[in-house]
Each structure stands twice: as C-alpha cells, then as structure tokens.
Amino acid sequence: MRKLLLSLVVFLAPLLSSAQQSRHFTFHYAFTVRDISQGQKVEIWFPMAHSDAFQEVRVLRIEGDLPVAKTREKRFGNTLFHTVAPVAAKHDYTFDVVYDVVRHERIGLPRDGATPHLVKTSDKEAKKYLGPDKLVPVTGRLADLAAKQVQGKTSETDRARALYDSVFSTMRYDKSGTGWGRGDAEWACDSKRGNCTDFHSLFISMARSQHIPARFEIGFSIPINRSSGEIPGYHCWADFYDSGYGWIPVDISEAWKDPGKKDYFFGAHDANRLQFSMGRDLVLDPPQAGEPLNYFVYPYVEVEGQKWESVSNRFSFADVTKSNAATGQ
C-alpha cells in the first residue's frame, strides 16, 4: 500500500504543479460626480468589466442617479457604460456597479509542467499593435536603445525578454513628486522611475520599435494579503505577441515589487487582478468632446462639453467564500 501511495504521489505531482490558480471575489466600482450647477449638461462614461478567457464576470447590480446604457468603443472593443443628464437636476450624481468575478491565472509560456494557454490572432490583428501612441513613440532614441538591448536575439520571446530585463533593471517603482502615471515612455526612460503605467509604456515602446506587437491593459490589482477592503487605485500590465505562442503576458512593475517573481511575471499574470479595458488614446462611444483618453479605467465626465475633474472614486473587493456565497453576501 505504501508503494502504491508513493507511486500515486509521483504520478500526480506534475498534474498538481500544473494546476493554475483562480480567485473568486466581488468588486464594487463606485463614484460620485460632484459640484454640478443645476441646469448644466452632464455626460458620463465609465468602463465595464467583461468576460474573456481569463475572467468570468457577472454584473450583480447597477445603481445610479441616472439610467445607464451599455456601449462599445470601436478601436479596441472595450465595453463601457454611458449616461447623460441634458439638464442637471442635482449637484452630485452617484453610481455603483457590483461585479461577481472569477479570475484565472494566465500562463502564456511553458513552465514547471504547466501547459500555456495560447491566445493567437491573425497577423493583421497583431500588427495593429505596432504603431505609436501619443506618449509611446516607436522611433527615435527609445528605438535605438531597444536595438542595443536585443542584439544577438532572434525570436520574438528572446528579444522581448531582453527588453523586459532592461526595464526591470533600469526603472524603480517610485510615485514621489510629479510626472509619473501618465505612461510617457520617454519621461520614464529619462527619470528611470514611475508606476505600472510608466514601466509598461517604456516596454511597449521598445517592443514595438523592434517590430514586436505589444498592447496595454488596465484594471485593478486585488490585494494578496487581505480578503476584503478598499482598493486605492488602478493597476496595468502588458502583452507582447510571439508568432509561435500568441499573446504573452508580462507585468514588470509587479516583478519589481517582488524580485523573486521576476521570471514568473515574464509570461504569466496571477489571478489577483481584474481587467477593465485595453489600449491608449481612446475615443469613447458616443465620442467625447475632449481629446482621446490616455487610458480608460476611471470615470470620464464632461460638463457643458468640458472635461470635469470633480469626481470621487471608491473601489473595493471581497473574496467570495463558500459561506458567503451560500448566504448571497
């Protein structure tokens, strides 16, 4: 019997190691548009979390001071909510969306016996992610820097790893002062610091300059060491495209925070996140009067056709356990 059990453990070990992690939680996306003068036109857009291969999303409840409609922007296919008050009757407008989410770990490269989940697309679609964004150039000095980093590398993945290592080793996660958070790749290169937006903008700029498609994704990080609570702000990450494996995930800023996971976050995203949208320089649906959005994770508001900054956000989560799932909490 002991030999049988030992044989069973040996047989099951690779299967257990390849099991990918999941996390089940509820997510509150709430905000208040403040200080509106009665009679003004107020228009509001905010992103909608969606289901895909790595997250199963259900809207449990939508509450708000105005009825909302679901729309979709055309360039990246992001879903969003839109509402308008042609003549404001209140000074403040509050909205709250509650999601039920099961997020799955995403493995994009073979590792430790785990089978990667391949996400492939057409060459035409991948090439959409080779061009510049307003703050993400693909020519000039960042391209020259990238060319030096990838010398001697032939495959897309080897070249992307060289760029990942370069950003990891030269940047530091530092949100002091000003300038960070805009995703200005040249600023990030010069300052050598910033948040997740700056890390991944620099990576995307250099990758695209070397003809490696790369895309920007944004949402929220779910804390690992807590089962519920407030979430202070967004988190973003990136994918690059390898013709053999498809879209491969990276998260350089999370690797920087936990260097022991540097290899893990090249080719994987953990289950502790929720994606809301993709892309930069976004034109919403219906189109906003203002400039394209740098990225889209917080509500965007216009009053009388002008961008409105007086918006307070409240984001929170709670893990779903067997007990609270049974009671509907």
| pLDDT band at residue 142 under the 50/70/90 scheme | very high
Angstrom distance (rounded) from CA 49 to CA 32: 19
Coil, strand or helix at 129: coil
How high is the pLDDT of residue 113? 76
Mean pLDDT, residues 300-325 taken together: 92
What is the pLDDT at residue 89? 96
Minimum mean pLDDT range among 117-121, 284-288, 310-314: 117-121
Q: What value does the mean pLDDT take over residues 76-102?
A: 98
Q: Which two tokens stand for residue 10?
A: 């040996």
Looking at residues 237-244, what average pLDDT do you find? Answer: 96
| Alpha helices (H) in the chain, listed in sequence order | 2-17, 123-127, 141-149, 156-170, 185-191, 196-209, 252-257, 322-327
Q: 325 or 187: whose pLDDT is higher?
A: 187
* Confidence check: pLDDT of 127 > 50: yes
pLDDT digits (tens, 9 = 90+) for 181-217: 999 999 999 999 999 999 999 999 999 999 999 999 9
Model pLDDT, residue 322: 65
Supply the pLDDT for residue 94: 98
> Tens digits of per-residue pLDDT, 23-54?
999 999 999 999 999 999 999 999 999 999 99
Instruction: Give pTM, 2 decimals.
Output: 0.91
Measured distance CA(234)–CA(221) in Å, rounded: 7
Cα separation, 92 vs 270, whole angstroms: 37
- What's the average model confidence in pLDDT over 49-69? 97
Tokens 């994770």 -> residue: 297
Determine whether 148 is exposed, middle or buried from the number of CB atoms within 10 Å of its CB (0-12, 13-18, 19+): exposed
Q: Output the six-digit token pair for 8.
A: 């069973």
